[in-house]
Structure 1
Amino acid sequence: MGPVRRRAHGWWPFGRGFTLLWTGQFLSQVGDQFLFIAGLSLLDRLTDSRAAFGGLALAITLPQVLFGLWGGVFADRWPRRHVLIGSDLARALIVLGALTVRSHADLWRMYPLAAALAIAGLFFYPARNAVLPALVRPEHLLQANTALQASYILALVLGGTSAGFFVDRFGPYAAFAVDSLTFGVSALTLAAVPIPSEADRPPAARRGSPGRDLWEGLRFVWAQRPLRRIVFLTPFATVGIGAIQVLGLAFLAEGLRVRAGGFGMTMAMMGLGLALGLVVIPILGRRIPHATAVGIFLAAAGLATVAFSQAQTFALVLVAALAMGLCIVVARAGLATLVQHLTPSPLRGRVDSLATLMVNGALALAQAAAGLLGQWWGPRPVLLGAGLLMAAIGGLGVLALRGLPLDPPRPPAGGERDPV
C-alpha cells in the first residue's frame, strides 16, 4: 500500500488521512485546555498552597526529561497506529482518575495522574511525526507541519476561552469528562486514518533490545552532519516564547501600564501570526529552500522579539507579537520537516523524541532563566537578550545549513533496513 495522498487544492492540500489526524489532534488539544483550567480550579478550591501548583508542574515536566527518548524507541518498535490509538485511550482513562479527587486528602492523586498523562503523551507525538510523511505529498510536508503547529495555538485560544466559561458554569469535574471524551474521539479518528504499512510498521524495526535501539538512534543523529546541526538549532526556536510566557505580563504592566487583558490580546496576536503561517508557507516553499528559510525566519523571530522588548506603545507590541508568531511557526515547521526528510522511517520515532526532548528542555530552561534574570534585571533587558540570541542562532543556521546535502541518508546497521 503506497502513501495516501491527493493533488494539491487551495490552502488545504491534504487528503482524508491527514485531515482525520489533524482533527483528532485539535479536539484533544482543546480538551487539554479544559483539563488545564479544571486542574488549576480544583487545586485552588482544595488548597491554598502555591507549592501544590509547582508540584503539579514538576510531575508533568520530570517524566518528559527522564523518559522523553523512550517514547520514540517504542514508536519505532511497535505498530505506530497502535501506539497512537493506545496513547489516546490511555490518556482518556487517566484523565477520568481526576474525578476521584474530591477533598484535600485526595490531592496526592493528582501528581501520579499528571505524570502518567505526560508519559502517555511521550509515545503519541513521535509516532504521529513518524507517519506524517506518508500521509501527505513531499511538497506539502512543510505545510502539514505548519498546520500541526497552528492547531496547538488555535486550541489554546479557542479551548482556553471556552474552557474558562465551561468550568465556571459546570465545574472542574465536568471539564475532566470533556477532556477524556476528546481523547476518545481522537482515537476513533486515528483508527480511520489510512496509514501505509511501511510507515505503520517499518521493516526490521524491532531487531535488538530497546536500549540498543535507543543508542542506534542517537548514533544515527550524531553521524549525520546536516541532521546534527538541525537538531542543535531546534531548541532555540522556543527561547523567545518561553521568555514572553514568563515575563510578558510583567513587561506590559511595568513598561506600558497594560493589564492582564492586554497580555491575552498579545498572545492572541501571536496565535494569529501562527495561523497566517498556513497562508505564507505554500508561497514560501516554492521560492526559498527549506534549510535557508529555517535560518532566516529564526533570525526574524529573534528580531521580532527584540522589537517586542523595545516597544514603547502597545500597538507596536501587537505588531511584534504577530511577526513573532508567523516567524516561529515557519522556523519550527521547517525544522520538523527537515528532520523528517533526513530520517528514514524506521528511525523517525527516536530522532523525533530527541528533538522534542531538546525543545521541551530548552523551553523549561528559558522559562526558568527568564524568571530568575527578570527578577534581577527586569523584563525588558531579558527579553532583549532572548531576541538577540535567537537572531544570532538564526544567522548561524543560515551559514551552517548552506550547501549541506539534505537528501535522506540510508539508516545504519549494514543495510539491514531500507529507507522508506
Structure 2
Amino acid sequence: MTIRLGAPYWKLWTSSALSNLADGVMKVALPLVAIRYTESPALIAGLGFAFTLPWLLFALTAGALADRFDRRRLMLWANTARAALLSVLVVVAIIGAGSIWMLYAIALFVGVAETIYDTSSQSILPQLVNRDALSRANGRLYAAELTTNQFVGPPLGGFLVASGIAVAFGAPVLLWVLAIGMLLLVRGRFSTGHTGATTIRADIAEGLRFLWSNTVLRVLAIMVGMFNLASSATFTVLVLYAVGPNSAMKLTDPGYGLLLTASALGSVLGSFAAEGAERWLGRAKALALTILGSVLTVATPAFTTNPVIIGAAFFLGGITVSIWNVITVSLRQRITPHRLLGRLNSAYRLVAWGTMPLGAALGGVIAQFFGLPAVFLTMGVVVVCLLLGMLWVTDKRMDAADEAAEQAHRAEAAEEAASGPAGR
C-alpha cells in the first residue's frame, strides 16, 4: 500500500521549488551583472567563494538554530531575508549606484540565509511525512530542486539579465515572496522542544558527538567527503580537457554546457528511481552500485575523449549520485532524533563538503605535474576505494539503527501522550 505524502508536504514541495528557482536565477545573475562592474577574473570568481563561504563558517550554527527554534519559521525568516537583500539590489540598480563590493556583501549574507533555509528544510521533513515515506518524499523534493535550480533557473537568469539588472534581481524577489506565501499555508509547530538552557557551543558539540558516535553516519559522511574531493578535483580541470580547439575533447562552450547537462538530467531521473532501487536491491547493495556508477563520472575521461561516451557516463553517474543522496538522507532523517537533526545535518555537511576546496587544489596540482588524464584516473581509484566503507555500512547495521530509532520514537510518543496533548 502506497503511503500518501499529504497536503502539507506538497505545500513544502511547492515552496522549495519556488525557492530553488530563485536560487538558480540569482546564482547566474550575480556573475553576469558583476562583469558590468569589473573585468577582473579573480573578483568575478570571488563571488562564488563569498556565496559558499557561509557553509564553512556558519553551517554548524545554522544546525543549532534549526534545533532550537521552529524550523518553518526559520525557513520563512531566511527567505524573507533573501528577498529583502535582493530588493536592495533592485533599488540600487534603478538609481545606478551598484558596485562589485555590494554584490559581494549581498552574496555573503544571502549565503548565510541559505545555510539556515537548507538545514531547516532538510530537518523539517520527518515532521511532515511518515517515516516509511521519507525516501519517496526526498526523491520528489530532489527532483523539484534539481529541475528548478539546474535546468530552468540558469537559462531564465541569463534571459532576465539581458532584460535589465532590476528585472534580473526582481524576479528572485518575487519567487521568494511566493515561496513564503506557500510555506505560510503549512500549519503547525515544528520545534523540537529545546528549552534553550544550553549554549550554542554545547548544542553544536552534542551534534558532532552524535555524528561521531554513530558508525553508519560517521562512515557515510567520510565516504561522501572522499567522493566530493574526487568530483571536485575532476570538474575543476575538466574544462581544460574539454573546451577549445587545443583541448582533448575540442568542445565549444555550448557543447560543454550540454555535456554537464547530461549529469543533471541523470540526477533528476535518479531521484525518481531511488525508492525503487532501495526496495528492490536493499540499501547496502544499492549504495554499493551507486559507488560503481560514480566511478564512471570521474574516471571515464581518462580512457576516452569521445563526448558521447563521456556524456553517457555522466548521465549514469548523475543517476547513481541521486540514488545515494535519497537513500542516505532518508536514513539520516529516520535514525536521528528530531531534536538533533538540524545539528546532525549541518555537521554531516561540514564533513562531506569540507573536502571540496582540497579536491580542487589537488586536481590542479596533479594536472600540473602529471597531466589531465592522471587526475581522472587517480580520482577514479579514490572512488573505487569507497567500496571499503561498505564493510561498515551494512543492511544489518542500518536496520538495527532504524529499529533503535523507531523504539525511541515510540517511547517519546508514549511519554508525550502520558503528559497530555500538545500541538506540533
Could you say which TM-score interval applies, normalised by the shorter chain? Answer: 0.7 to 0.9
Deviations 1:242-286 (A, max 9, x none): 244322322223122222222111121112211211342232122
Contact 1:344 1:408 in 2 (8 A): no
CA distance in structure 1 between the aligned counterparts of 2:391 and 2:268, rounded to whole angstroms: 28
User: Among 250, 258, 274, which residue is 1:281 paired with?
Assistant: 274
- Kindly indicate whether residue 402 of structure 2 is the aligned counterpart of residue 407 of structure 1: yes
Moved more, 318-327 or 308-317: 308-317
1:386 partner letter: M
CA distance in structure 1 between the aligned counterparts of 2:380 and 2:48, rounded to whole angstroms: 26
CA distance in structure 1 between the aligned counterparts of 2:313 and 2:84, rounded to whole angstroms: 41
CA distance in structure 2 between the aligned counterparts of 1:176 and 1:98, rounded to whole angstroms: 7
Contact 1:295 1:397 in 2 (8 A): no
CA distance in structure 2 between the aligned counterparts of 1:300 and 1:143, rounded to whole angstroms: 21
CA distance in structure 2 between the aligned counterparts of 1:205 and 1:128, rounded to whole angstroms: 21
Quote how far apart the aligned CAs of 1:328 are.
0.7
Quote how far apart the aligned CAs of 1:87 are.
0.7
CA distance in structure 1 between the aligned counterparts of 2:370 and 2:89, rounded to whole angstroms: 40
Name 1:113's counterpart in structure 2: 106
Quote how far apart the aligned CAs of 1:312 are.
3.5
Q: CA RMSD in A?
A: 2.6
User: Among 202, 210, 228, which residue is 1:238 paired with?
Assistant: 228
Quote how far apart the aligned CAs of 1:119 are.
0.9
Distance 1:138 1:47, change over 3 A: same
Name 2:202's counterpart in structure 1: 212
CA distance in structure 2 between the aligned counterparts of 1:105 and 1:157, rounded to whole angstroms: 28
2:62 partner letter: G
Quote how far apart the aligned CAs of 1:180 are.
1.3
Contact 2:34 2:103 in 1 (8 A): no
CA distance in structure 2 between the aligned counterparts of 1:329 and 1:236, rounded to whole angstroms: 17
Name 1:319's counterpart in structure 2: 312
Distance 1:173 1:372, change over 3 A: farther
Name 1:25's counterpart in structure 2: 16
Structure 1 outlier segments of 4+, above 6 Å? 102-105, 416-420
Contact 2:232 2:356 in 1 (8 A): yes
Name the SS for the 1:350 alignment partner: helix
Deviations 1:305-326 (A, max 9, x none): 3224322422101110111100
Contact 1:240 1:302 in 2 (8 A): no
Quote how far apart the aligned CAs of 1:132 are.
0.8
Contact 1:8 1:14 in 2 (8 A): no
Quote how far apart the aligned CAs of 1:360 are.
2.9
Name 2:322's counterpart in structure 1: 329
User: Among 329, 349, 361, which residue is 1:356 paired with?
Assistant: 349
Quote how far apart the aligned CAs of 1:237 are.
4.0
Quote how far apart the aligned CAs of 1:344 are.
0.6
CA distance in structure 2 between the aligned counterparts of 1:228 and 1:417, rounded to whole angstroms: 25
Name the SS for the 1:46 alignment partner: coil
1:56 partner letter: L
Aligned length, in residue pairs: 402
Quote how far apart the aligned CAs of 1:103 are.
6.2
1:397 partner letter: G
CA distance in structure 1 between the aligned counterparts of 2:401 and 2:154, rounded to whole angstroms: 39
Quote how far apart the aligned CAs of 1:88 are.
0.7
User: Among 222, 239, 252, which residue is 1:249 paired with?
Assistant: 239
Name 2:155's counterpart in structure 1: 161
User: Among 255, 259, 264, which residue is 2:257 paired with?
Assistant: 264
Distance 1:59 1:44, change over 3 A: same
- Kindly indicate whether residue 55 of structure 2 is the aligned counterpart of residue 67 of structure 1: no
Name the SS for the 1:258 alignment partner: coil
User: Among 52, 69, 73, which residue is 1:78 paired with?
Assistant: 69
Quote how far apart the aligned CAs of 1:123 are.
1.1
Quote how far apart the aligned CAs of 1:335 are.
1.8
Distance 1:94 1:399, change over 3 A: same
CA distance in structure 2 between the aligned counterparts of 1:188 and 1:205, rounded to whole angstroms: 29
Name the SS for the 1:45 alignment partner: coil
Name 1:4's counterpart in structure 2: none
Distance 1:320 1:175, change over 3 A: same
Moved more, 316-325 or 57-66: 57-66
For normalisation by structure 2, the TM-score amounts to: 0.87
Contact 1:234 1:332 in 2 (8 A): no
- Kindly indicate whether residue 37 of structure 2 is the aligned counterpart of residue 46 of structure 1: yes
Moved more, 300-309 or 69-78: 300-309
For normalisation by structure 1, the TM-score amounts to: 0.88
- Kindly indicate whether residue 48 of structure 2 is the aligned counterpart of residue 57 of structure 1: yes
Contact 2:211 2:347 in 1 (8 A): no
Contact 1:72 1:350 in 2 (8 A): yes
- Kindly indicate whether residue 88 of structure 2 is the aligned counterpart of residue 93 of structure 1: no
Contact 1:153 1:274 in 2 (8 A): yes
1:324 partner letter: G
Contact 2:334 2:405 in 1 (8 A): no
Moved more, 97-106 or 294-303: 97-106
Quote how far apart the aligned CAs of 1:368 are.
3.2
Alignment of 1:147-158 (within 5 A): 147-155=140-148, 156-158=150-152
2:160 partner letter: F
Distance 1:278 1:228, change over 3 A: closer
Quote how far apart the aligned CAs of 1:210 are.
1.4
Moved more, 225-234 or 96-105: 96-105
Contact 1:88 1:187 in 2 (8 A): yes
Moved more, 208-217 or 71-80: 208-217
